[in-house]
């Protein structure tokens, strides 16, 4: 049983005890109902308190139970709330720390609510692609007003209890406790004070009206239009709250339930729920237990003050961690500092950062031209030129000066972290930290685990990633790690599509319609086409059998490296990011196609999307099989947070699961028959072939 029952004098206390956040899983729901029954059967008990153990009142319905039989089994949350409302003895919710989703709905079913200050209160279901399904859309407007409730339900954002408690006319909290520590005693005293009050108040009996009714809901519908582009839930939230103002309570509840069930089965909700769990699972490494001791990171050093080094440094400054930046020349340091200042000043201008915070952050930044000055740093990250010889020089110097136990990290995006580690006498302290550009903005951090990387180093950098607000995913050592290894296949398919008849614009539009933040050619222009060119040149000697379209090389030979040169696959007006199609580039593609003797064909958006996305899927299956990624969901996290893959698709492997792996393999077999494509690549990875044959999915 994951709810405890104790009697204090005349008050029975039911404590939800389902760590980590007292999710309302089956056994907790059963525990609440059993506790209510015991309390109501005990003549010595005159009132009941429901509270939560540990760091939460409740985080809501147990997300891990969704889609399983347990979520359907009685007592479901509706039955639990009905048992609370029908209790002949008053029930008081004693709310603290976190009160969200079904947890708030449970509290709203109680006769009274007392809250500790500092508690995060939310109906965040919309973030999981659903809406509150246990009366939240019907009860919250009755206690905080229609507009405040709709804002909370549509945004899913938490509001602090003291703010809600101080809203004029609010009926959410009957009392605010003086402090979190005082909550338990105050809740007991409050429960005793209301023991004999009859009739007992119920939120469902309160009125629910909006003075401008229809006009307000029309306005609300317009407001959520943007949010609703790829997600059905926000608009349904408006419908449900409107129902609270127009229908009888019981009918509103039924309406809400129907919407909830329909949303629960949408692919968008499945994707969001998958990502919620995937993001949290990414921080867990199978052979590194969560209680692995961590090294202390009090001071950080960054080598290289270029765009990458500066962006990396900003992450630590933002988290209040001092950074020392090293460069070879004072001018380079000055340029780096000026760029960091410019970035912060832009944030101040936009009102996103306060002036005093900006100054505090800059005060944490120091610079040096000497490796000796870095020796006391706990973590050093190099962001120097991507060439093994340069890395060798840097790591040998670091090995000579850094204190024992310091973590030595490389921001390499392609090079062999094992080789880099072996430039030192302490390979166990070396790890890859692959930040994505712009490093102060992008959430993804690929943590590259070398053969010798110590477990406590991994545990430390994963914890540090959380501190600097990155989503970290562990990758093994291979060329390109998880993300860039996959994107190479995606880029190759993009090239073949041009050879066969597409324009860059057509490919980009199809992918953007699918939901990608940017199509492959706009992305190439943003990242710099010269980067891919350098990799291909290496490939031509390393893997002479690998097939590439030559169009991207022809583009680079013209110096069209992308946004930074004002011209790439598209043209760019200085200072703007709008991609303007260029007739010469289209002609270049046509001429090249003609030189190969290819007659262009019309290619559907569906084929474009499938070839690009399934190329990611096949490479991902190899990556999983080789143990480069620990789990399929890690790969989805990499693509969502690092490559602009559409959130509503849940990542490439979640999308493949939705399409059905059998269908994915069928499509690959079709693509393999295309003489202009790379038949060898389209041989389904053994893992993918096996899962498809067994009717299974990536998990």
Annotated active-site positions, please?
105, 125
Distance CA 408, CA 381 (A): 6
Residue (197 or 277) nearer to ligand 3H9, CB: 277
Look at the block and give the residue holding tokens 């949408």.
Answer: 266
Closest contact distance (angstroms) between CB of 19 and ligand 3H9 is 8
Burial of 370 (0-12, 13-18, 19+ CB in 10 A): exposed
How far, in whole angstroms, is CA 647 from its chain's centroid?
Answer: 9
Contact flags string 79-98 toward ligand 3H9, x per CB under 6 A: -------------------x
443 binds ligand 3H9 (CB under 6 A): no
Reference 555, options 594, 592, 510; nearest CA is 592
Q: Kindly indicate which of the ranges 109-117, 132-140, 513-521, 567-575 contains the residues binding ligand 3H9, using the contact rule CB under 6 A.
A: 132-140
Closest contact distance (angstroms) between CB of 47 and ligand 3H9 is 26
- Residue of 101, 310, 311, 450 interacting with ligand 3H9 (CB under 6 A): 101
Peptide bond into 20 cis (omega under 30): yes
Closest contact distance (angstroms) between CB of 650 and ligand 3H9 is 16
Q: Within 13 Å of residue 126, how many CA atoms lie on the same side as its CB?
A: 26
- Residue of 31, 129, 133, 491 interacting with ligand 3H9 (CB under 6 A): 133
52 binds ligand 3H9 (CB under 6 A): no
Distance CA 280, CA 290 (A): 13
Identify the three-state secondary structure at position 62: coil
21 binds ligand 3H9 (CB under 6 A): yes
Residue (79 or 230) nearer to ligand 3H9, CB: 79
Q: Kindly indicate which of the ranges 99-107, 185-193, 208-216, 370-378 contains the residues binding ligand 3H9, using the contact rule CB under 6 A.
A: 99-107
Judged by phi (left if over 0) then psi (alpha if -120 to 50, else beta), residue 228 lies in: alpha
**Contact between residue 94 and residue 48 where contact means Cβ atoms under 8 Å apart:** no
Reference 647, options 312, 258, 221, 233; nearest CA is 233
Residue (64 or 455) nearer to ligand 3H9, CB: 64
Q: Kindly indicate which of the ranges 57-65, 305-313, 612-620, 622-630 contains the residues binding ligand 3H9, using the contact rule CB under 6 A.
A: 57-65
Closest contact distance (angstroms) between CB of 110 and ligand 3H9 is 16
Whole-angstrom CA distances from 240 to 123, 204, 225, 233, 262 are 13, 15, 16, 10, 13
Closest contact distance (angstroms) between CB of 95 and ligand 3H9 is 14
Distance CA 431, CA 451 (A): 10
Distance CA 570, CA 524 (A): 10
Q: For the sheet containing 98-100, what is the strand order?
A: 98-100, 120-122, 159-160
Binding residues for ligand 3H9 restricted to 467-506, rule: CB under 6 A? none
Structure tokens at 126: 């919309």
Whole-angstrom CA distances from 492 to 487, 522, 525, 546, 603 are 9, 15, 15, 10, 16
| Alpha-carbon radius of gyration of the chain | 29
| DSSP codes joined into one string, 192-232 | HHTTT-SSPP-GGGS----TTHHHHHHHHHHHHTTTTSS-S
Residue (101 or 562) nearer to ligand 3H9, CB: 101
Reference 279, options 654, 696, 687; nearest CA is 654
Closest contact distance (angstroms) between CB of 473 and ligand 3H9 is 14
Residue (280 or 341) nearer to ligand 3H9, CB: 280
How many residues bind ligand 3H9, per CB under 6 A? 23
Residue (311 or 650) nearer to ligand 3H9, CB: 650
Distance CA 574, CA 576 (A): 6
- Residue of 52, 59, 304, 684 interacting with ligand 3H9 (CB under 6 A): 59
Binding residues for ligand 3H9 restricted to 382-421, rule: CB under 6 A? none
Closest contact distance (angstroms) between CB of 272 and ligand 3H9 is 10
256 binds ligand 3H9 (CB under 6 A): no
Distance CA 116, CA 493 (A): 56
- Residue of 3, 15, 16, 23 interacting with ligand 3H9 (CB under 6 A): 23
Residue 64: DSSP 8-state: G
How far, in whole angstroms, is CA 359 from its chain's centroid?
Answer: 30
683 binds ligand 3H9 (CB under 6 A): no
Residue (100 or 220) nearer to ligand 3H9, CB: 100
134 binds ligand 3H9 (CB under 6 A): yes
186 binds ligand 3H9 (CB under 6 A): no
- Residue of 31, 35, 109, 132 interacting with ligand 3H9 (CB under 6 A): 132
- Residue of 62, 525, 634, 636 interacting with ligand 3H9 (CB under 6 A): 62
Structure tokens at 130: 């659903």
Distance CA 369, CA 694 (A): 59
Closest contact distance (angstroms) between CB of 651 and ligand 3H9 is 17
Residue (264 or 305) nearer to ligand 3H9, CB: 264
The residue at minimum Cβ distance from ligand 3H9 is: 101
Residue (11 or 465) nearer to ligand 3H9, CB: 465
129 binds ligand 3H9 (CB under 6 A): no
105 binds ligand 3H9 (CB under 6 A): yes
Structure tokens at 620: 């991902």
429 binds ligand 3H9 (CB under 6 A): no
102 binds ligand 3H9 (CB under 6 A): yes
Residue (59 or 568) nearer to ligand 3H9, CB: 59
Distance CA 316, CA 433 (A): 14
Q: In the chain, what is the straight-line distance between the N-terminal and C-terminal CA atoms, in Å?
A: 29
Contacting residues toward ligand 3H9, per CB under 6 A: 20-21, 23, 59-64, 77, 98, 100-102, 105, 124-125, 128, 132-134, 136, 280
């Amino acid at each position: 049983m994951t709810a405890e029952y104790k009697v204090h004098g005349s008050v029975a206390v039911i404590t939800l005890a389902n760590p980590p956040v007292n999710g309302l899983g089956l056994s907790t729901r059963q525990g609440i109902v059993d506790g209510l029954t015991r309390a109501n059967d005990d003549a010595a008990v005159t009132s009941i308190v429901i509270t939560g153990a540990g760091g939460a009142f409740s985080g809501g319905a147990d997300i891990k139970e969704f889609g399983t039989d347990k979520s359907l089994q009685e007592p479901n949350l509706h039955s639990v709330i009905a048992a609370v409302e029908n209790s002949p003895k008053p029930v008081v919710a004693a709310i603290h720390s976190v009160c969200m989703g079904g947890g708030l709905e449970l509290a709203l079913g109680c006769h009274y609510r007392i809250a500790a200050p500092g508690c995060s209160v939310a109906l965040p279901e919309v973030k999981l692609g659903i809406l509150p399904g246990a009366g939240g859309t019907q009860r919250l407007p009755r206690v905080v007003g229609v507009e405040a409730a709709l804002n909370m339900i549509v945004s899913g954002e938490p509001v602090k209890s003291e703010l809600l408690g101080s809203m004029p006319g609010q009926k959410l909290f009957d009392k605010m406790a003086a402090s979190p520590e005082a909550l338990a005693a105050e809740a007991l005293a409050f429960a005793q004070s209301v023991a004999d009050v009859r009739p007992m108040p119920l939120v469902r009996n309160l009125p629910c009206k909006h003075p401008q009714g229809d006009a307000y809901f029309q306005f609300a519908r317009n407001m959520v239009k943007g949010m609703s582009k790829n997600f059905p839930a926000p608009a349904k939230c408006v419908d449900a709250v409107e129902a609270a103002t127009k229908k009888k309570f019981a009918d509103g509840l039924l309406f809400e339930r129907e919407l909830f069930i329909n949303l629960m089965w949408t692919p968008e909700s499945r994707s969001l729920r998958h990502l919620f769990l995937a993001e949290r699972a990414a921080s867990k490494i199978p052979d590194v237990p969560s209680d692995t001791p961590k090294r202390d990171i009090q001071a950080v050093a960054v080598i290289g003050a270029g765009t990458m080094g500066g962006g990396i440094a900003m992450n630590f400054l933002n988290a209040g961690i001092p950074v020392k930046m090293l460069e070879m020349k004072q001018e380079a340091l000055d340029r780096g500092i000026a760029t960091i200042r410019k970035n912060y000043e832009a944030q101040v201008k936009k009102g996103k950062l306060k002036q005093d915070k900006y100054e505090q952050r800059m005060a944490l930044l120091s610079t040096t031209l000497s490796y000796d000055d870095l020796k006391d740093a706990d973590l050093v990250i190099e962001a120097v030129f991507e060439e093994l010889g340069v890395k060798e020089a840097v790591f040998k110097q670091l090995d000579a000066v850094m204190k024992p136990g310091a973590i030595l990290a490389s921001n390499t995006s392609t090079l062999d972290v094992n080789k880099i580690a072996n430039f030192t006498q302490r390979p166990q302290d070396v790890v890859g930290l692959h930040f994505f550009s712009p490093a102060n903005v992008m959430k993804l951090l690929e943590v590259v685990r070398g053969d010798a990387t110590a477990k406590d180093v991994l545990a430390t950098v994963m914890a540090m990633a959380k501190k600097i607000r990155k989503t970290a995913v562990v990758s093994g050592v291979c060329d390109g790690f998880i993300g860039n290894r996959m994107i190479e296949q995606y880029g190759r398919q993009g090239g073949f599509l041009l050879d066969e008849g597409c324009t860059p614009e057509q490919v980009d539009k199809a992918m953007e319609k699918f939901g990608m933040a940017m199509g492959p050619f706009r992305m190439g222009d943003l990242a710099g086409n010269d980067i891919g060119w350098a990799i291909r040149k290496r490939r031509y000697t390393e893997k002479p059998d690998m097939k590439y379209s030559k169009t991207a090389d022809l583009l680079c030979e013209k110096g069209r490296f992308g946004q930074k040169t004002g011209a790439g696959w598209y043209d760019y007006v200085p200072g703007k990011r709008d991609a303007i199609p260029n007739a010469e580039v289209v002609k270049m593609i046509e001429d090249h196609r003609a030189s190969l003797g290819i007659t262009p064909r019309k290619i559907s958006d569906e084929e474009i999307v499938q070839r690009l996305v399934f190329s990611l899927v096949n490479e991902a299956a190899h990556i999983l099989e080789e143990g480069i990624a620990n789990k399929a969901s890690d790969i989805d996290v990499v693509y969502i947070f690092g490559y602009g893959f559409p959130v509503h698709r849940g990542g490439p492997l979640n999308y493949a699961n939705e399409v059905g792996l059998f269908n994915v393999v069928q499509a690959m077999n079709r693509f393999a028959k295309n003489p202009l494509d790379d038949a060898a690549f389209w041989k389904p990875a053994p893992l993918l072939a096996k899962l498809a044959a067994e009717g299974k999915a990536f998990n």
